[in-house]
Amino acid sequence: MSVKNKKEKSTSIAIVGTGFGGLAAAIQLKKNGFHNFKIFEKSNSVGGTWRENTYPGAACDVPSHLYSFSFEPNPNWPRKYSAQPEILSYLEHCAKKYGILPHIQFNSEIESASWDDQSRIWKVKTSKGETLEYDVFVSAVGQLNRPALPSIKGLESFSGRIFHSAKWDPSYNFAGKKVAAIGTGASAIQFIPQIVNQGAEVTVFQRTPPWVVPKPDRKYFWFEKLFFKYLPGYRLLLRFQIYIWNEIRMIAFQKNNHANKIVKWMSLSHMKKFIKDPALRQILTPDYPAGCKRILLSNDYYEALAKPNTRVTPEAITEVNTEGIVTKNGTEKYDAIVFGTGFKATEFLSPMKVIGTQKQDLNEVWKKGAEAYLGVTVAGFPNFYILYGPNTNLAHNSIVYMIESQVRYLISALNEMHSRGIQALVPKLRSMETYNESLEEKFGKFVWDTGCTSWYINSSGKNTNNWPGHTYEYSRKTQKIDLSKYDILSA
C-alpha cells in the first residue's frame, strides 16, 4: 500500500466485535479523525456478550455507573447493578449516538486474518467469502465469547432439552420440569434461582462450591436519578467513589491478607442466614482461599438452594443417556440439562486464525498460554491490537476501565504512525518477554496462585487472564505508546 498523505488520517482499520471493546475503539477512532474503519460482527446486532447472554437473571456484578464508558455517562440506570437488557440498551444507544452503525458489517464472522510481509497489509477473510485488505487489524472479541461445554460421555444422546447459559431458549417453560443444573459459576448462580422460582425441580451438580457474598443492589430513588441527570458532579463523584472502593478490594486477592478473611466471613455468614441444614452447609463451603476462583455476588442463590424443590449434589457425573444423568448411585431422569459452565476464556481468539510474519499462526504461538505486550500487542504480528487480551481481566474492578486504557494506547500508536510516516509497528520479542516475566513474578503474591482450578488458569497451569495489580497502574503503562519497545517498519 502507498504511504498515506500526512494531512489525512486514512489508515484503514478492521475491528472484530461490537461489544464494549469494539464500540469503544470505533468511537475513539472517529473522535481522533480516523474514519476509514469497518467493524465485523458475526451476529445481526451490536452488544457482544450482553447480546448473547439472555438467560433469566443475567446481570452485571460491577456497579452500573462504573460499568459504562467514561465519555458516555448514563443518568438513567434504574438500579445500582444493571441487568442484561439495560446494558444491551446502553450499548445500542452508544452505537447510534456516535454514528457507528454505518461502519458495521453484520452477519460477518472473521475466519482468518493474515499479514502480508511484502505489501505490509492484513488480508482479512470473512465468512461471506470476501478477502479484504487493511493496514491495521483490531480484535475486540473479548475473553467470554465461546461457551464451554464439559466433555460428558453420551451427552448427545439425551432426549430432553439442553441449554448453555449463553445459548438460552426463552420460550422453554420450566414449570413442573425436572432440571439438572451443571456448574456453579457466575452465570449459574443467576439463573438457578430463576428456574427454581418458575417451579422447576432442580438438582444442582456442583463440582466446586463458590465463595458467594451479598450483592449490595437496590433500585435508585427518584431523587437520586434527578441528581444523576442534573448534577453531573454528583454522578462523577459517585463513579469515583465506586472506583476507589473497588481498587481497595484488590487487597482481598493477596495471599495471607486480613481482607481475604473478611470475605470468607461475609460469605459464610451469608450462607448461614439461608442454609440451616449442616450437611448442605458443608457441601456449599469452599476449601480454597476466597478469590482463588471468582468471588460471586448474589442475594438469592443460597435462598434458592434452601427451597424444597432444590437439591445440591457433589456427585460426579459418569455419563448422560437418553433419559438423564448417570452417577455412581444410578440413573436419574431429567427433562432438561442446563449448563452454567462458563466460557473457553483461555483460548482467546479461537476459532479465528491470525497469521503474522513468516506465516506464524497465533494459535500455535500461544499453544502453551497466551501472552502479549501490555495485553495488547504481540511480537511477530505487526499492526495487530487486542482489546481485553491476555492478562487484562480483573477480579476486583470494571473491565470497561481497562478497555478504555487499551483503546487510548491504540489511538496513541495510530497517531504516532500517522505523524511519523510509519507503515507498521511490531513489539520487540524481548519487550514482550520482559513484560510477561514481570507479571509472573507478581502472580506469586495473589491467591490465584494457590492451586484451585479456575477459568483464569489454562491447562498448563499458567494464568493467562488476570491483571495482577491496580487498574491505575495499567492505565499509567498504557497512557502512551513507547516506540523504543517496538520495531518500526517505515515506508
Residue 204's domain is classified under what CATH number?
3.50.50.60
**Number of structural domains in the chain:** 2
Q: Which of 299, 319, 339 finishes a domain?
A: 339
Asked if the structure places residue 348 within a domain, the reply is yes
Does residue 387 contact residue 25 with C-beta atoms inside 8 Å?
Answer: yes
The answer on 450 and 355 residing in a single domain is yes
Where the chain has pLDDT below 50, the residues are 1-6
The answer on 312 and 189 residing in a single domain is yes
Closest residue by Cα to residue 142 from 247, 50, 32, 66: 50
Angle ∠(108,114,118) on CA atoms, nearest 5: 140
pLDDT at 3: 38
What are the cell numbers at 75? 443518568
Asked if the structure places residue 53 within a domain, the reply is no
Asked if the structure places residue 58 within a domain, the reply is no
Does residue 357 contact residue 427 with C-beta atoms inside 8 Å?
Answer: no
Helices 399-420 & 20-31 angle (0-180, nearest 10): 40
Torsion, Cα 317 322 323 329, to 10 degrees, reads -30
Does residue 331 contact residue 324 with C-beta atoms inside 8 Å?
Answer: yes
Cβ neighbours of 339 (radius 10 Å): 24
Q: What is the pLDDT of residues 281-297, one digit of tens each?
A: 999 999 988 888 899 99
Asked if the structure places residue 176 within a domain, the reply is yes
381: Cβ–Cβ under 8 A, 6 or more apart, which residues?
Answer: 115, 354, 356, 357, 360, 362, 426
Buried b (16+ CB within 10 A) or exposed e, 466-480: bbbbebeebbeebee
| 3-state class (DSSP) for residue 418 | helix
What are the cell numbers at 144? 467470554
Asked if the structure places residue 60 within a domain, the reply is no
The answer on 439 and 395 residing in a single domain is yes
Phi, psi of 384 (to 5 degrees): -120, 125
The answer on 298 and 190 residing in a single domain is yes
The answer on 309 and 399 residing in a single domain is no
The answer on 159 and 141 residing in a single domain is no
Q: Which of 318, 339, 360 finishes a domain?
A: 339
The answer on 384 and 282 residing in a single domain is no
Phi, psi of 484 (to 5 degrees): -70, -15
Does residue 201 contact residue 177 with C-beta atoms inside 8 Å?
Answer: yes
**Burial grade of 73 (CB within 10 A; 0-12, 13-18, 19 or more):** middle
The answer on 130 and 209 residing in a single domain is no
Distance (Å, rounded) from C-alpha 206 to C-alpha 312?
7
How is residue 200 annotated by DSSP?
A: -
The DSSP line for 211-260 is: PEE-----BPPHHHHHHHHH-HHHHHHHHHHHHHHHHHHGGGGBTT-HHH
Asked if the structure places residue 37 within a domain, the reply is yes
Q: pTM of whole model > 0.85?
A: yes
How is residue 404 annotated by DSSP?
A: H
Q: Which of 315, 339, 363 finishes a domain?
A: 339
pLDDT at 144: 66
The answer on 370 and 319 residing in a single domain is no
pLDDT at 347: 67
The answer on 472 and 410 residing in a single domain is yes
In 109-221, alpha helices (H): 188-197
β-bridge pairing 324-327 and 330-333: antiparallel
The answer on 316 and 240 residing in a single domain is yes
Residue whose entry in the numeric block shows the C-alpha cell 475473553:
143
The amino acid that residue 298 corresponds to is S
Residue ranges with strand state E in 226-361: 296-297, 310-313, 319-320, 324-327, 330-333, 336-339, 353-355
User: What is the helix (H) or strand (E) element at residue 187, kind and residue range?
Assistant: none
Query: What range does the domain containing 285 cover?
Result: 155-217+228-339
β-bridge pairing 353-355 and 110-116: parallel
Asked if the structure places residue 181 within a domain, the reply is yes
Buried b (16+ CB within 10 A) or exposed e, 161-177: ebbbbbebeeeeebeeb
Does residue 156 contact residue 176 with C-beta atoms inside 8 Å?
Answer: no
Asked if the structure places residue 21 within a domain, the reply is yes
Query: What is the Cα 378 distance to its own chain's centre?
Result: 20
The answer on 475 and 410 residing in a single domain is yes
Does residue 317 contact residue 152 with C-beta atoms inside 8 Å?
Answer: yes
